Every structure is written in structure tokens, then in C-alpha cells.
């Protein structure tokens, strides 16, 4: 009985404890649901919207047959999402990411204009960026690089970090500030990272808050050495570019890559697609509530007039030509040839089929700091587009314009002759007695072009007058821009005003005869020479020179824009008389190929090519004390039905006849390539 009472007492105590626990839970439940319920409900249902940009693929650049030149490939990029990355964890996260990227040999986004090692200095040539940095950090413009660095450590809370991380994180943090990193603007920490880096980030996502792996594209070139001056480059937006050009364009962000030169720059608005975005709604606990995606729209495709295969061959032809010229120069103890260029145009349209420059560069190497600096320091200036911006005296190639002018004005007839005795004696009583390379005897227009007789053209130029033959040269395309879509030089023709402005010397009457043979102050580009050749082939009709054939949609399905064949200028006069005059010039140029100055390489050639060579003084002397001459040539053919116009210029190369080798090789390459591409192709199909 006593034992039963003891059991009952224990049961009462146990039930009391259970009741007490239930009371505690009830009070707590009341606190959670009734007293604090609204607050916890708000926490559970409150969400944040995160916007992640989805960059559009850049439009492609393809050749006339649709073969890719600049295209894209898929890549992984690393973004920092501020809404998921607490500020007090930012520096620790960045240190971990720097370690990961360094281990995998990858770079991060740091374009701060400050050197990476002490003593710190500002990067040369970045004055606008330096000024912007000082302003962003609240410093006066007289602040030193060390002042800027110290301010970065203070502003970004880096002073207590290990020293080996301080400069690295300072650069990244400034870049984040510069690109306006915020809850609505993620920061691109690294681009085109490896799968190893992607795996590391995903495996350690709890220790790397806010680091997001985004899919994107990167620019690739099927051959980075193929016409880089034409294709052009892309790069980050500079501070001054942002303020002047891109800031007010809604489709651009400060971390975008944009065209910097060539077609990439000229067709930036065409190649630039429309970015999409992904909006992610998350709770405070990190749970994803909803995702909305606006797909990006890729940029359009730019179709060039260039033939990719012919371009590659022309680059080889030009390089081989320079090698041959250097060998000849060494044998003759003359100055070594430097730069050179070669341009090929479609006579019937003005489209550029090929344009080679020597020396050239590699677009992939250019994108590296070391590569870019090496190109900048190269004394042969490989970054210069000699074909479109190089300015040279045309030399005797100019005589074609003078001959056409003489015939059309009636100053000479096809039968008119003038005697070449080796010296021009019109001003016999003066010291000015310009010479010819040979004694040619009686010359008419045809034979004077064949032999490149200075005496004949001295006299014809004097009789015509500067304005008359300059007018013809201008109509045919010399001394002015050709219409190219990318950067080109305008050049100039010799005039008293230009001469006096540039030299400070008075214009002399004898300067006219020097101008008539392509000397004096006349300067033209190689592409102008090719345009000039095409205009002669077309009996005085000059088409606008162009690089772009069309713009098509990214997938090539839709034709958006097509470049029309445009007559830029035309020699005026009776059509029959104009045709007859240019026929005489053509016959003279054909004789130059068969029995004249270009005969060594074109006399027995299977195609009939009209050509005119030039040997132009450049006003310097070589290391042996000899006068330096640039070699020039203009040609077109076949004369029966012209298809190509070709020009070439070689600096410090001597006589222009040597370039006839390159002309012949271009025609060989063109017809081989044309035959390969002559098979029917289905509409919209791309060639390999």
C-alpha cells in the first residue's frame, strides 16, 4: 500500500513537469504567433530582386563568302552580386577568389591606372583615368600616386590585410567603384575562366557568398594575324569615352567591351547586340522565389568585300616581296626596306578584295600588355595601317593622270612626240635642269608611259599647268579620301599654298614639272593608288572604295543592309573622247608591262596587265649615304575585261619595277581562289 502511494506521488510530479513544459511551449508559441508573428511573417515573405545582366553576343565579321573572321565562343565569367555579398565579407571573399584565380593562372578585373609594385606610379598615357581616379577618391589633382594608394587602403579597409593582397584588392575595389557596383549593377570579377575555376567556385559557394558563375561569350579570331588593321580591336571603355559617347546610350554599361579600331569600331552600333537580363527574386534566407529572363539579342553580322583566302595569300606575297627586296638591298649595299603594303580592288564595284600591310601584328598578342607594349616600341611600327593611312609620293605612277589630262585637253595627241635628250632644257639659262633616267629620243604618250620618260612629262606638265593635271588626278582618286568605312588618310596634291605652308619656302616655277612626275609635296595612300588604277580601268569613272558588302542578321537569315555600288567621280567630256584618251593611257601601261619598266615580271605573263611603276624620293639618305627611294606600282587587268586593280608600295625599296613580281603573284592567287569558289552555293550557306 505504501509502495502504491509512492508510485502515485511520482506520477503526479511527472505529469506536473509535462504540464509545465507544455505551458512554456504554449507561451513561446503565443509569443511567436501572436506577439511577434507579424515580424516573422514579414521576414519569411520579404524578398529582394537581383538583376543579373545577360550580355548579348557580339555580331560576327565574315568575308564576302560568309567565312568567319571575327566570331564568338561560349565562356564562363565570374560576377559579384552585392545583394548576396555582405560588405563585411567582401574583402575576405576577394582574397579567396584572387587565390583561386592565381592558382589557375587567370586574371581579374583591375584596370586602375596605378603600377602594381612599389614605388607606386601612375601608368603613362592614362591622364584622363588618373584624374578620374583622384576625383573618385576625393583627392586633389596634385595628389601623388602614393597619396592615391594610401587613400585606397583607407577607403576600402585594406590596411590590416596581408601586404601581398593590398595592391591587388585596392585595384579590384577601385574597379568596382569605377563600374558602379551596387545592388542593381553586378561587378565582373573575371572573364573567360577555366572549368577548374568554375568547379572551385561552385564547390565552395558557402565560403564565397555573392560569387556568381555567368555564361557569356568572348571574341575570337579564326586567324588573329589576318588583316588585323581592318578587323580592328575591342577593349574596355575608357573614362573619356564613357563620358563623351557611351554614358547616355541605354544599351551600354561601364564594363562593356567596345570596338576600338577598324570594323569593330566603325560598326560598333551594328555589332553591339541588345543585352538581356535575369531577375531573381530571393527571400532573406536565400531561397529563390521566382526567376524572370529576358533573352539577349545578338548583334548583326558585318559582311566584308574582302576575300579571306586572297587576303591570306596577299599577306604572304607581300612578306615574300619584302624578303626579296631586302636580299637585293644587301647585295647592292643599299638601305634595307622597311614597311610595305599591297591593295587589291574589285574594278567593277570598288570593293576591297585584299589589303595587306607589312609588318603586321597578331590580335591575340595585342590584347596582352606585354604584346601591346612590344608593338608600340617596334621601330617599324606594325600597328600602322600602311595600306590605308601611309602617305607616300606616288612617283611616276602619277604620269598616267598627266597623260590622260594632256589628251583630253588637246594639249597633245596620240601622235604628238617630244624629244628626250636626257635633260630638260626649257629653262636653259637657269641652274634648274631636271634629268631623265635615260636618253629616250622621240616619245609619244604611249612610249613615254612605257619608258617612264621624265622629260616628256616635265614638258607636258608645264604646258598643262598645275591646276589642270591636279584636277585630273583628283577626279581619279589621288590626294583625297576614297570612301572607306574605317580610318584612312586624305593625302594631298602639290600646290603653292601647301608647299609654302609646310616648308616656309616660296613656290618656284620649276616645281610644276616635279609635281608632274609625282614628286614635290604630292602624297597619296596605297588604297588611293589602287582606286586610281580602277578609275583608269573604267575610263575615268571612279567608284567609292568600300570594305563592307552588307549587314545581315546574326544567323545570316535576313539581309538588313547592302552597300550600293556608287560612282564617286567621273571624268567629264565627250564619252567617245574620254574613252579614247584612257585607251591611249591603257596601251601605254600595257607596253610598260610587255616591253617597258615592268617587263621583267609581266612580259610573258599569261594575263595582259596594264601597269605603271614609280620610284619616288623620300627625302632621306640610307646608311651608305645614298638617296632613299620608295617603290610604287599601280596595275589592273586583264585589260580585255578588267577585274582587279592592284597597288603596292615598299618603303626604301628603290625601283618600282621590283613590285611587278607582287602584281603577278596577286593575279595568280586571285584566279586560283576564284576557281575554287566558283561552284554554285546554296542561298544562305557558308563556305568553310
Phi and psi angles of residue 650, each rounded to the nearest 5 degrees, phi first: -130, 125
* pLDDT over 70, % of the chain: 91
pLDDT given for residue 686 in this prediction: 44
Ranges 116-125, 126-135, 286-295, 569-578: which has the least confidence: 286-295
Q: Is the pLDDT of residue 681 over 50?
A: no
Rg (the chain; Cα; Å): 36
> Across the chain, what does the average pLDDT equal?
90
Ranges 42-46, 259-263, 370-374, 682-686: which has the least confidence: 682-686
pLDDT given for residue 331 in this prediction: 76
Q: Is the pLDDT of residue 259 over 50?
A: yes
Q: In what order do the strands lie in the sheet with 644-650?
A: 352-358, 340-346, 644-650, 627-637, 610-621
Rounded Cα gap, residues 382 and 135, in angstroms = 36
Burial class (CB in 10 A: 0-12, 13-18, 19+), 140: exposed
Query: Hey, which of 42-56, 244-258, 654-668 has the most confident mean pLDDT?
Result: 654-668
Rounded Cα gap, residues 359 and 382, in angstroms = 5
Q: Tell me: domain 308-676, CATH 2.30.40.10, correct? A: no
Q: Is the pLDDT of residue 8 over 90?
A: no
pLDDT given for residue 444 in this prediction: 97
- The H or E element that residue 313 is part of is helix 308-331
pLDDT given for residue 332 in this prediction: 73
**Mean pLDDT within 298-313:** 97
User: With contact defined as beta carbons under 8 Å apart, do 129 and 110 qualify?
Assistant: no
Q: Is the pLDDT of residue 683 over 50?
A: no
pLDDT given for residue 679 in this prediction: 43
Each residue of 517-537: pLDDT tens digit?
999 999 999 999 999 999 999
pLDDT given for residue 673 in this prediction: 75
Count Cα atoms within 13 angstroms, Cβ side, for 538: 28
* pLDDT over 90, % of the chain: 72
**Mean pLDDT within 248-263:** 88
pLDDT given for residue 685 in this prediction: 42
**Mean pLDDT within 251-269:** 92
Domain ranges of the chain: 308-676
Q: Is the pLDDT of residue 1 over 60?
A: no
pLDDT given for residue 471 in this prediction: 97
CA-to-CA dists, residue 488 to 229, 386, 483, angstroms: 11, 9, 9
Count Cα atoms within 13 angstroms, Cβ side, for 239: 17
Ranges 456-460, 559-563, 624-628: which has the least confidence: 624-628
**Mean pLDDT within 451-459:** 96
pLDDT given for residue 144 in this prediction: 96
Each residue of 11-45: pLDDT tens digit?
666 666 666 656 656 556 556 566 555 555 555 55
Amino acid at each position: 500500500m505504501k509502495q502504491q502511494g509512492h508510485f502515485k506521488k511520482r506520477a503526479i510530479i511527472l505529469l506536473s513537469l509535462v504540464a509545465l513544459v507544455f505551458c512554456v511551449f504554449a507561451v513561446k508559441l503565443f509569443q511567436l504567433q501572436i506577439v511577434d508573428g507579424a515580424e516573422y511573417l514579414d521576414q519569411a515573405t520579404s524578398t529582394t530582386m537581383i538583376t543579373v545582366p545577360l550580355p548579348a553576343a557580339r555580331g560576327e565579321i565574315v568575308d564576302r563568302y560568309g567565312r568567319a573572321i571575327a566570331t564568338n565562343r561560349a565562356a564562363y565569367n565570374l560576377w559579384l552580386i552585392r545583394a548576396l555579398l555582405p560588405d563585411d565579407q567582401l574583402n575576405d571573399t576577394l582574397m579567396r577568389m584572387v587565390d583561386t584565380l592565381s592558382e589557375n593562372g587567370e586574371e581579374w578585373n583591375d584596370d586602375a591606372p596605378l603600377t602594381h609594385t612599389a614605388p607606386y606610379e601612375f601608368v603613362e598615357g592614362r591622364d584622363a583615368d588618373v584624374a578620374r581616379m583622384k576625383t573618385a577618391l576625393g583627392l586633389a589633382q596634385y595628389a601623388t600616386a602614393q597619396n592615391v594608394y594610401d587613400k585606397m587602403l583607407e577607403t576600402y579597409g585594406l590596411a590590416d590585410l596581408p601586404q601581398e593582397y593590398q595592391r591587388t584588392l585596392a585595384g579590384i575595389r577601385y574597379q568596382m567603384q569605377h563600374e558602379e557596383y551596387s545592388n542593381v549593377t553586378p561587378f565582373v570579377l573575371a572573364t573567360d575562366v577555366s572549368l577548374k575555376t568554375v568547379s572551385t567556385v561552385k564547390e565552395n559557394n558557402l565560403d564565397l557568398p555573392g560569387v556568381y558563375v555567368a555564361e557569356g561569350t568572348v571574341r575570337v579570331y579564326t586567324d588573329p594575324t589576318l588583316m588585323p588593321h581592318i578587323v580592328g580591336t575591342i577593349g574596355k571603355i575608357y573614362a573619356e569615352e564613357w563620358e563623351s559617347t557611351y554614358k547616355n546610350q541605354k544599351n551600354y554599361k561601364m564594363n562593356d567591351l567596345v570596338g576600338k579600331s577598324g570594323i569593330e569600331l566603325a560598326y560598333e552600333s551594328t555589332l553591339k547586340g541588345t543585352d538581356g537580363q535575369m531577375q531573381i527574386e530571393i527571400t532573406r534566407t536565400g531561397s529563390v522565389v521566382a526567376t524572370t529572363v529576358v533573352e539577349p539579342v545578338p548583334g548583326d553580322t558585318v559582311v566584308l568585300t574582302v576575300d579571306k583566302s586572297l587576303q591570306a595569300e596577299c599577306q604572304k606575297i607581300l612578306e615574300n616581296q619584302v624578303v626579296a627586296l631586302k636580299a637585293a638591298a644587301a647585295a647592292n649595299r643599299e638601305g634595307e626596306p622597311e614597311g610595305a603594303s599591297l591593295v587589291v580592288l574589285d574594278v567593277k564595284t570598288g570593293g576591297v578584295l585584299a589589303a595587306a600591310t607589312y609588318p603586321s601584328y597578331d590580335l591575340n598578342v595585342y590584347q596582352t600588355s606585354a604584346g601591346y607594349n612590344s608593338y608600340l616600341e617596334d621601330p617599324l611600327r606594325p600597328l600602322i595601317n600602311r595600306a590605308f593611312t601611309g602617305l607616300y609620293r606616288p612617283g611616276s605612277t602619277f604620269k598616267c593622270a598627266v597623260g590622260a589630262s594632256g589628251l583630253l585637253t588637246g594639249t597633245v595627241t596620240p601622235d604628238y612626240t617630244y624629244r628626250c635628250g636626257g635633260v630638260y632644257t626649257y629653262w636653259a639659262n637657269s641652274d634648274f635642269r631636271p634629268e631623265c633616267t635615260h636618253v629616250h629620243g622621240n616619245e609619244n604618250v604611249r612610249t613615254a608611259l612605257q619608258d617612264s620618260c621624265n622629260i616628256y612629262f616635265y614638258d607636258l606638265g608645264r604646258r598643262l599647268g598645275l591646276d589642270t593635271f591636279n584636277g585630273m588626278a583628283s577626279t581619279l582618286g589621288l590626294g583625297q579620301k576614297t570612301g572607306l568605312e574605317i580610318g584612312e588618310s586624305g593625302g594631298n596634291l602639290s600646290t603653292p599654298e601647301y608647299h609654302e605652308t609646310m616648308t616656309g619656302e616660296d613656290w618656284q616655277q620649276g616645281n610644276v614639272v616635279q609635281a608632274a612626275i609625282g614628286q614635290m609635296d604630292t602624297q597619296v595612300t596605297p588604297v588611293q593608288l589602287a582606286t586610281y588604277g580602277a578609275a583608269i580601268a573604267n575610263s575615268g569613272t571612279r567608284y567609292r572604295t568600300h570594305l563592307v558588302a552588307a549587314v545581315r542578321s546574326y544567323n545570316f537569315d535576313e539581309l538588313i543592309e547592302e552597300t550600293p555600288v556608287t560612282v564617286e567621280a567621273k571624268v567629264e567630256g565627250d564619252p567617245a573622247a574620254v574613252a579614247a584618251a584612257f585607251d591611249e593611257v591603257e596601251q601605254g601601261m600595257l607596253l610598260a608591262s610587255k616591253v617597258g619598266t615592268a617587263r621583267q615580271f609581266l612580259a610573258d605573263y599569261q594575263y595582259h596587265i596594264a601597269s605603271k611603276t614609280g620610284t619616288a624620293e623620300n627625302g632621306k639618305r640610307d646608311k651608305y649615304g645614298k638617296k632613299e627611294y620608295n617603290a610604287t606600282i599601280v596595275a589592273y587587268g586583264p585589260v580585255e575585261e578588267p577585274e582587279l586593280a592592284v597597288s603596292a608600295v615598299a618603303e626604301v625599296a628603290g625601283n618600282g619595277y621590283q613590285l611587278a613580281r607582287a602584281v603577278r603573284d596577286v593575279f595568280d592567287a586571285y584566279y586560283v581562289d576564284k576557281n575554287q569558289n566558283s561552284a554554285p552555293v546554296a542561298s544562305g550557306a557558308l563556305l568553310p
